[in-house]
Structure 1
Amino acid sequence: MHPNPLFRSEDPALPARLIDAAGFGMVFAQTPEGPRVAHTPIMAVGDDRLQFHLARSNALTRHLVGAQALIVVNGPDGYVSPRWYVDRDTVPTWNYIALECEGAVSQIADDALEAFLHAAILRHESLLGGAPWQASESSAKVWEGLFRGIVGFEMTVAAMRPTLKLSQNKSPRERAAIAEGLAQAGKANLAQAMLGDAA
């Protein structure tokens, strides 16, 4: 979390919007071999619970049950050039949106994992447009093979820390110029967030 309070948000609906928009994140935890991270689809299931799954063979899997972990969900980000400032006597920076979620992790039962997989497929297929792929198109052999190879988890979130570093410390004129520069650099989502649509 960025230390500047300008880049924080007290919007209680923001974390769920960020998680829904990204649908993917990183799970960090300490293991006897040192800190480890895993990348995984993530879904919010209620106000204070996040579900995800990992490969059974992942270095984190056997250490997560009962552990305190950190989940990071990244939103749009982009390099901010000093050429976009009125006064170019400065340095580059990076604008970004990110969410840290901290809490205890438990394993979920097979029926909850099955429900998570179907909900995640439905959500992400709907974003693509056209005729969605459906889980029923997998043979029982393929689906069961997948199922045997993963473990489902749930984090009960004790703390959520969103960071929206969107040049709030700049003048309205400079923010507009930075947003325009980001849009021209192919970062339309980030530019849009700077102009008021944070998710």
Structure 2
Amino acid sequence: MRQNPSFTLASEDGVKRLVREHPWATIVSMTDASGLVASHYPVLLDEDADGIVLLTHVGRPDEVVHELGRHEVLVIVQGPHGYVSSGWYGPDPAVPTWNFTAAHLTGRPELLDPAENLRVLEALVDHFEQRLPEPRALRADPDDAAYAERLAAGTVGLRIPITRFVAKHKMSQNRPDATVDRIIGELEGDGPYASPALAAEMRRTHELLRAARAAAARHPGA
């Protein structure tokens, strides 16, 4: 991913936030047998680990197709994104763009044993069910145990310690405040490129930038 200093997301905490809020990931492998292979699965952070460590699973036989454990994989996570029209900038000539947040994370997967795999599956279900008014656990009662174990047998759990990442957070940081406010207004509107999620992310980004500028102005040279 080509980087631009204005948009580089170098913070490990920032990447973790992206994974927590947007856990649907693309897993890409360069395999000996089939060349490039890609699959899509939800991921969680191992919150107890040092650095960035992902927990997930694949359905059989994806572990064979990806040759998991033999090579590094690339995990792509993407946040809110959307088209930004040049007409939103003002009357001067300009080119349109696309605002987005994305991270490319690289690591070698570790295949989990059946018991660990089941624990990861339960954690995934609990993570997404917790927002519901009546969450349903994978093993909600003793009668569900056999079903959960059969389900787990059809999957392979993964732990992926991330050894390096490249991430980009492009939210019009190179535009003046008035232009940023117009873009946010359009994204919050009802036009064909409206995107409330992207507007919220832009607003958060620029509130932090403005607060940092104000602090720097109050304490020059600090």
TM-score by length of 1: 0.90
Q: 1:191 corresponds to which residue?
A: 199
Contact persistence 1:38–1:60 (CA under 8 A)? no
Q: Does 1:65 align with 2:66?
A: no
> 2:87 is aligned with what amino acid?
R
> 2:91 is aligned with what amino acid?
D
> 1:93 is aligned with what amino acid?
T
Q: 1:11 corresponds to which residue?
A: 11
> 2:44 is aligned with what amino acid?
M
The counterpart of 2:137, out of the listed 125, 130, 134, is 134
Q: 1:143 corresponds to which residue?
A: 148
The counterpart of 1:101, out of the listed 92, 99, 105, is 105
Provide closer, same or farther for how the CA distance between residues 88 and 142 of structure 1 changes in structure 2, counting only shifts above 3 A: farther
Provide closer, same or farther for how the CA distance between residues 69 and 15 of structure 1 changes in structure 2, counting only shifts above 3 A: same
* Deviations 1:66-85, CA, capped at 9 Å, x for gaps: 31111011111111112211
Higher RCO, Cα 8 Å, sep 6+: 1
Q: 2:81 corresponds to which residue?
A: 77
> 1:131 is aligned with what amino acid?
E
After TM superposition, give the deviation of residue 61 of structure 1 in Å. 4.5
Contact persistence 2:10–2:166 (CA under 8 A)? no
Q: 2:183 corresponds to which residue?
A: 178
Q: Does 1:49 align with 2:57?
A: no
After TM superposition, give the deviation of residue 196 of structure 1 in Å. 2.2
Higher strand share: 1
Contact persistence 1:182–1:191 (CA under 8 A)? yes
Q: 2:27 corresponds to which residue?
A: 27
Q: 2:122 corresponds to which residue?
A: 118
Gaps of 5+ in 1: none
Contact persistence 1:66–1:106 (CA under 8 A)? no
Query: Matches of 2:134 and 2:59 in 1, distance apart?
Result: 28
Query: Matches of 2:102 and 2:185 in 1, distance apart?
Result: 21
TM-score by length of 2: 0.81
After TM superposition, give the deviation of residue 15 of structure 1 in Å. 1.4
Percent identity, please: 25
> 1:43 is aligned with what amino acid?
L
> 2:149 is aligned with what amino acid?
E
Gaps of 5+ in 2: 207-222
Q: 2:220 corresponds to which residue?
A: none
Contact persistence 1:22–1:73 (CA under 8 A)? yes
After TM superposition, give the deviation of residue 59 of structure 1 in Å. 7.0
